[in-house]
Structure 1
Amino acid sequence: MPPKIDQGLIIILDNGRNVANADEKDKKSFYEMARECAARIIETKILSQAKNSYVGVILLGSKNTKNSVAEQAPGEFKHIELLSALQTPTWQMIRELPESPSKSKGDWMDALIVAADHFKNGVYGVKIIKTKIILLTNFCTLTKYDHDEIQQVLNGFKADNLEVNVIGPNLYDEGHIKNNDFELARLFVEETKGVAEPFGSAMSFLLFHQRKSVNSVAWNSDLSIGPDLKIPISSYIKIDDKPVVGKWTKKVKDPVTSKPSKEEAIKKERIFYNAENHSKVKSDSRTKGYQYGQQIIPFTQNEETELYASGEKGLTVYGFTHKENIQWQCLTDVGLSYIFGRKGDVNAQQTVKCLVECLLELNLVGVARRVCISNYAPKMYALIPNVDNENGICLSMIQLCYKENIKHMVFPPTNLKKYSCTDAQVNAFKELIEAMDLTKAYDDTYDDTEAFPIGETVSPTAQYILDCIAFRSLNPAAPLPPPRDEIMTLFKVPPLVEMRSRGALEKIEKLFPLNKIEPRPKKNKQQQESPQTLTVLPVTKKAENEPFEIPKISLFMDKNSTETTSIGTMNPIDDYKALTNKGKSLSDLATEMTESIQSLLYYNLHDDSKKAVNAMKFFRNECIKSDPSIYNNWLQKLKISLNHEKNTKVLEVINENELNVILKSESSLSTYENEDSQLYENDTIPNTLPVVIDPEVDALFDEM
């Protein structure tokens, strides 16, 4: 049997003098708009990577006559040229489109007949399932065919299932109908179940590149629940993570012309090379191995049998958990699949439906182990009940993250007095949220009032990449253009949303005055040191018998060098008091004070922690007076790091001297009522520090 082609498309482009005049409204000629539309159609076919699609181009009104029907009937079907026969679309088709119209005229009915004949007799060795013709003309040249001949041609089109589409004039606008050819074209469109669109509607449809819709291939397996229950299922991919561009052939650039060669391309080949004797090694005679440190460990076929085997392909439910335990951060972005009962198996479909309803009623989610192919690495998935209006009742399957893939972030508490907001500030933000509702982003003049709907909004990055590929293919030497206005529109706020939110933003600016904070200059050790002046005394001459004396150098310290500028480890309490007298607050000095205390605790060479304990007590008392949250938050983070570093000595010092958190009994501003609340928070805070590797493991790698 011949191979099947999903779709065959012939574009009939009017190139006669009747399309040369410029339109007063669009300031472009009909031919310029038609050529741009034809080029866009071919470009879309190429970038969609539709391999099972053929495209051909016929020029109507060409100065040449080149078609098989004209050869069979001399003197007829003039000025009809088959520019490109039906084939896989290429960039050369766009390059061959004429830049300007000719001075000839052709019959659009002749072009339809030539296109139908090419579908029937011009393609060999393949079977085209669906045939389509797109006619780009303004119908200013009247056809010479009478009513009976037109009806005969129409019957032939209907018998061969040829679909006729017209792009250009509005066939259904009665005010623009000038001749009977509009009615004839409308008759062909309606009888062949085609469409007729003006250039504006057609180009808006071709505005963005669309991926070719392909029916998802089912992944058939058994859903195992316990040792006895196995449900035949079929899984279909709903959302995948395919790259924007698939595999493209890279061509070699000619060094003389600086253009890619049409005959040569890069071909990759994998070979195995022996570095010792500089020879190629056959794939059969090689031994697999794995690199462990700096050593290569061979891996024989006998050892492969002892490897871990995941088993046969399947989906096994490990258990069920409450849906609140599966948060969005636990899910990966690999893709989404829908699970249904096996097609044709009514019992399996009813069982899956019953399972979904039970999970919805109990607010549960399944956790399952999936082996995609036998003995491939297993992965864990969440089976979430889903009631989709379009697809029906099913299970959504999303891959779960492992612990190593989840990144924890700890933020400071916001329930402090300085972060509290008034009712007016909260209402201002509520007003801003309502004003920025994207579901009501446009007025009634638009078909849809929602902006950026989910599942319909295209990716600006993908669109620009495809635009660059198309531009580079047609203009090899020109620099890449900036993104189109249509792409940049995706980054702009809809006008109606911007207008609605303007008043709310002005309220927020008044309610939240912002003060500019100058960044602190970086500390420089050389700048911190007080400048010194060196005075060299002159050398006086001595007698010959007297010994030579070295010149004396006197050091004079600057008067300002004794002033305290930061908190150090020599006397942190005095430094703190000195800086407080200069007008600095507790929040300004807290960072320096805690760094000084931590340095005294960590780098205690003589096991004397009196200075650190005194500084810590002083700092704790200062926080009790003004803001206990500063001390509590710092101590909480310090204890977490000490626990992970297993620094029990410092922890014992803190506990023995009763330097724990400030309780509510000591200060009414504290949020801790007792010590247990702080211990509970320490236990529940996630691990935010890197894993500490045991010294024995490090020594093992050093020896290797």
Structure 2
Amino acid sequence: MARSLSQGTMIVLDVGRNVNTKEENEKSFFERAKGCTGRIIERKILSDGKDLVGVILLGSKTTNNNMAKQYDGAFKHIEVLSEMQTPTWKMIRNLPDKPSETRGDWFDSLIVAADYYKNIISGVKFASKKIILMTNFKRKTSFDPDNLEEVLNGFKEEGYEVFVVGPDIYSKENDSEDTALARQFVEATDGATSTLDSIMKHELLFHRKKIVNASPWNVDLSIGPNIKIPVSTFIKLRDEPVVKTWKKAVKDPVTSTASTFEAVEKRKEYINPENQSTVKIQDKIQGYHYGQTIIPFTDLDKTMLYQPGEKCLSVYGFTHADNISWQNLTGDGLSYVFARKGDKNAQKAIRCLVECLHELNLVGIVRKVHNNNNAPKMFALMPVIDTNNYVCLSMIALSYKEEIKQMSFPATNLKKYSCTPEQVNAFKDLINAMDLTQAYDDTYDDKEAFPIAECISPAAQYVLDCIAFRALNPGKPLPKPREEVMSLFQVPPLLEENARKPIEKIKSLFTLNKVEVKKRKNKNVVLDIDQIQAPLGDFQPDTTDIPNMPKVQLPINENEVDNIHKISTINPVEDFKVLQGKNKPLSELAPGMIKAIESLIYNNIDGNYTKALDAMKHLRSEFLKSDPKDYNDWMRKFKSDLAKCDNNQVLCLIMEKQVSFILKEENSASTYEDELSHEDSQLYENDTIPNSAELTISTDVQNMFDD
């Protein structure tokens, strides 16, 4: 049975003596045509399509084609170098390194390529049959023009498309009988023509993604318990890896060749670390790390997991579009939701829903389960109205609360940040001068730079270039990015020229002063007594012979005590006592002590929390004598913050040192009877009731659905 393919491509490469002369850029036509052929095959390989590619050499030393076997003495010096097949790197390696000393007839090569499609390759149904001819037409054809009409009709009937790559066959400079004949082939078969420089700079300069038909995800859009609209979602944009699948191969160290039929044998075993014995897979129990503890997870525990249910797309409610900002959006792409194809009632319902959302400036909040028992996700449904093409809904994922990071920035509407009208106009001129929609002059095809959905990723281009280079040069180091890739990082020359004057004006209007960041001096430097060298003549007692030399506690200088105004992290307990001796109340000292404790824990490097725990113990003992409410409230918040940071070590030390909550049995003013029963538990519930979204829906919208 014939299999359907996208297209077949037969490349006819002229390697005769007529393409050996040096041309512009000190490269011959053969060298440039060979590079173009390799680039075409490379693009076919990296696109990972189902196209078939073949190569025919025109002007080769040998003759190897079906037409030459049928007609003796004709179709000479034409060789089928590579049979039509899925393109491989070997096809590029097999291209000749230099041209031959013979010449071939380019018209005969077209007949050989057409015969290959018709008689050689069978059992394959092509969507298109392309023949790419690369020659400079310096060798005149011996074809009889009287039979031209018959040949052209045969090409039309078989559906061949002839593409001519070489000199400009429509220019007056290259006008000849051969170029006129080539023009007739191009026009009769709806083909195309291009020069080598043009096709390398425009068509083959960058790698392009393979165009595939989008596959829909069919589901019912549920609104409430009774409304279900059959819809189909299509992926509009998605962040995808450059190479999706890799084919693994084993390299033979002797022959340095890779084989896809051989593999390295791998074996997985489970070892009991206690007795180093092998455990059978049926005796294995899955577990998870919780801190330093391994918690087993049996099949019985799986039955208690949250079940998201079958695949669905359920509307939880509607909210104002202003409530959905870009900070709330997440996910790896954007999808469009259309009514199911062929369902007129669904098309009317989706159009009505889109128009209502657009008129009321609302956004739908939906819950999506892609497949049965997959994790549910929340999405925003936004109306899309294209007057020329379609009416649909765009769907993008929403972030959960834990995924949003709140960042506070200082206010900028201050007097010192205010700008003069002249400064504002200077920036407006700069913005107008750097308008990307007017980035190029009339010498370019398009005036816009970096258009949306057409901008090429430099990283992806470099990765694909490296893959192609490594396939053709396995032993050489990877090259640097080529100039065409690096040009993607450059500002368009016209924009750079237009922005020169506005930038100079802005420099003259704004005076920028360099801010020197002062380095913080560490006052608590630990000095090594061995590194301190005393001046000559100073007396240094020898203490090496004294066995148990007693430590002397030096008295505290009264001036140092008077200079203590706040609790520091050097000696928080002593600072607390000094300030308490100055008749400062506990309500005033507690915030400073708490700040010092938190700093000692959050900024800890060596993992020693002794000083922080001693400070907590002292603070707890002071609160035992008064109202413990402030201490318990801080302890609740402090332990919650430690749990969010996964700081289990400090939490365990707090329980060990008994510096947690002040219980009622210790102080009658406390509300904590038992610490374990009053610990704040983090309960994560999965709300699957669509009616819970009514809290955020205005009453006008609810009344509309009630009606």
* CA distance in 1 between partners of 2:317 and 2:224 (Å): 9
Question: Which 10-residue stretch deviates more, 395-404 or 147-156?
Answer: 147-156
* Corresponding residue number in structure 2 for 1:181: 178
Measured against aligned partners, the alpha-carbon deviations of 1:4-61 in whole angstroms (never above 9, x if no partner) come to 22211110001111111122x44322112211111110011111111x1111100011
* CA distance in 1 between partners of 2:480 and 2:57 (Å): 32
CA contact (8 A) 1:249 1:266 kept: no
* CA distance in 2 between partners of 1:181 and 1:69 (Å): 22
Deviation, structure 1 residue 688: 11
TM-aligned CA distance change 1:430 to 1:321, over 3 Å: same
Question: Which 10-residue stretch deviates more, 446-455 or 273-282?
Answer: 273-282
* CA distance in 2 between partners of 1:186 and 1:612 (Å): 104
* CA distance in 2 between partners of 1:95 and 1:495 (Å): 39
Identity %, equivalent residues: 50
* Corresponding residue number in structure 1 for 2:21: 21
Measured against aligned partners, the alpha-carbon deviations of 1:568-603 in whole angstroms (never above 9, x if no partner) come to 996278xxxxxxxxxxxxxxxxxxxxxx67769976
Deviation, structure 1 residue 612: 12
Deviation, structure 1 residue 533: 6.2
* Corresponding residue number in structure 2 for 1:36: 35
* Corresponding residue number in structure 1 for 2:670: none
TM-aligned CA distance change 1:196 to 1:688, over 3 Å: farther
Deviation, structure 1 residue 118: 1.5
Q: Of residues 490, 493, 510 in structure 2, which corresponds to 1:492?
A: 490
- 3-state SS of 1:196 partner: strand
Measured against aligned partners, the alpha-carbon deviations of 1:616-670 in whole angstroms (never above 9, x if no partner) come to 99xxxxxxxxxxxxxxxx99xx99x99xx9x9x99xx9xxxxxxxxxxxxxxxxx
* CA distance in 2 between partners of 1:73 and 1:176 (Å): 32
TM-aligned CA distance change 1:197 to 1:694, over 3 Å: closer
- Structure 1 position 79 matched with structure 2 position 40: no
TM-aligned CA distance change 1:97 to 1:571, over 3 Å: same
* Corresponding residue number in structure 1 for 2:637: none
Measured against aligned partners, the alpha-carbon deviations of 1:67-118 in whole angstroms (never above 9, x if no partner) come to 1221222221110100000111111111111122111111112111211122
TM-aligned CA distance change 1:376 to 1:537, over 3 Å: closer
CA contact (8 A) 2:250 2:264 kept: no
Q: Of residues 303, 328, 331 in structure 2, which corresponds to 1:330?
A: 328
Measured against aligned partners, the alpha-carbon deviations of 1:191-239 in whole angstroms (never above 9, x if no partner) come to 2111111123211211000010111100000000111111000000111
TM-aligned CA distance change 1:84 to 1:538, over 3 Å: closer
CA contact (8 A) 1:569 1:599 kept: no
Deviation, structure 1 residue 331: 0.9
* CA distance in 2 between partners of 1:496 and 1:367 (Å): 45
* Corresponding residue number in structure 2 for 1:49: 48
CA contact (8 A) 1:408 1:688 kept: no
Instruction: Read off the aligned partner of 1:571 and give its amino acid letter.
Output: N
- Structure 1 position 202 matched with structure 2 position 199: yes
Aligned-residue CA RMSD in angstroms? 4.0
TM-aligned CA distance change 1:538 to 1:402, over 3 Å: closer
CA contact (8 A) 1:137 1:167 kept: yes
Deviation, structure 1 residue 295: 2.5
CA contact (8 A) 1:107 1:141 kept: yes
Instruction: Read off the aligned partner of 1:201 and give its amino acid letter.
Output: S
TM-aligned CA distance change 1:254 to 1:317, over 3 Å: same
* CA distance in 2 between partners of 1:539 and 1:174 (Å): 103
CA contact (8 A) 2:7 2:130 kept: yes
Measured against aligned partners, the alpha-carbon deviations of 1:443-496 in whole angstroms (never above 9, x if no partner) come to 122111111111111000000111111111111112211111111111111111
Q: Of residues 405, 419, 422 in structure 2, which corresponds to 1:407?
A: 405
Instruction: Read off the aligned partner of 1:230 and give its amino acid letter.
Output: K
* Corresponding residue number in structure 1 for 2:508: 510
Question: Which 10-residue stretch deviates more, 273-282 or 88-97?
Answer: 273-282
Question: Which 10-residue stretch deviates more, 180-189 or 420-429?
Answer: 420-429
TM-aligned CA distance change 1:4 to 1:571, over 3 Å: same
* CA distance in 2 between partners of 1:93 and 1:539 (Å): 85
* CA distance in 2 between partners of 1:391 and 1:569 (Å): 80
- Structure 1 position 289 matched with structure 2 position 286: yes
* CA distance in 2 between partners of 1:535 and 1:491 (Å): 64
- 3-state SS of 1:175 partner: coil
Deviation, structure 1 residue 514: 2.4
* CA distance in 1 between partners of 2:383 and 2:148 (Å): 57
TM-aligned CA distance change 1:308 to 1:690, over 3 Å: closer
CA contact (8 A) 2:434 2:498 kept: yes
* CA distance in 2 between partners of 1:125 and 1:270 (Å): 43
* Corresponding residue number in structure 2 for 1:691: 644
Deviation, structure 1 residue 132: 1.1
Instruction: Read off the aligned partner of 2:38 and give its amino acid letter.
Output: A
Alignment of 1:318-467 (within 5 A): 318-388=316-386, 391-467=389-465
* CA distance in 2 between partners of 1:395 and 1:266 (Å): 48
CA contact (8 A) 1:569 1:600 kept: no
CA contact (8 A) 1:336 1:397 kept: yes
CA contact (8 A) 2:642 2:648 kept: no
Deviation, structure 1 residue 277: 7.5
CA contact (8 A) 1:250 1:265 kept: no
CA contact (8 A) 1:409 1:688 kept: no
Deviation, structure 1 residue 184: 1.7
Instruction: Read off the aligned partner of 2:258 and give its amino acid letter.
Output: S
- Structure 1 position 2 matched with structure 2 position 2: yes
TM-aligned CA distance change 1:612 to 1:30, over 3 Å: farther
Deviation, structure 1 residue 281: 4.7
CA contact (8 A) 1:271 1:281 kept: no
* CA distance in 2 between partners of 1:57 and 1:137 (Å): 14
Q: Of residues 187, 191, 205 in structure 1, which corresponds to 2:188?
A: 191
Measured against aligned partners, the alpha-carbon deviations of 1:114-146 in whole angstroms (never above 9, x if no partner) come to 111222232244333321111111222222222
Deviation, structure 1 residue 426: 2.2
Q: Of residues 95, 104, 107 in structure 1, which corresponds to 2:105?
A: 107
Unmatched tracts of structure 2, length 5 or more: 547-556, 603-615, 624-639, 657-707
Unmatched tracts of structure 1, length 5 or more: 541-547, 549-561, 574-595, 618-633, 654-686
Instruction: Read off the aligned partner of 1:424 and give its amino acid letter.
Output: E
Alignment of 1:644-663 (within 5 A): none
CA contact (8 A) 2:220 2:230 kept: yes
* CA distance in 2 between partners of 1:424 and 1:395 (Å): 44
Deviation, structure 1 residue 701: 13
* CA distance in 2 between partners of 1:492 and 1:694 (Å): 46
- 3-state SS of 2:128 partner: strand
TM-aligned CA distance change 1:464 to 1:613, over 3 Å: farther
* Corresponding residue number in structure 2 for 1:605: 576
* CA distance in 2 between partners of 1:572 and 1:424 (Å): 51
TM-aligned CA distance change 1:67 to 1:212, over 3 Å: same
- 3-state SS of 2:306 partner: coil
* Corresponding residue number in structure 1 for 2:162: 164
Alignment of 1:296-335 (within 5 A): 296-300=295-299, 304-335=302-333
* Corresponding residue number in structure 2 for 1:557: none
* Corresponding residue number in structure 2 for 1:145: 143
Instruction: Read off the aligned partner of 2:8 and give its amino acid letter.
Output: G
* CA distance in 2 between partners of 1:326 and 1:83 (Å): 60
Instruction: Read off the aligned partner of 1:42 and give its amino acid letter.
Output: I
Deviation, structure 1 residue 522: 4.2
* Corresponding residue number in structure 2 for 1:670: none
Deviation, structure 1 residue 309: 1.9
Deviation, structure 1 residue 3: 2.7
CA contact (8 A) 1:220 1:233 kept: yes
- 3-state SS of 1:174 partner: coil
CA contact (8 A) 2:251 2:259 kept: no
Would you say how many aligned residue pairs link Structure 1 and Structure 2?
594
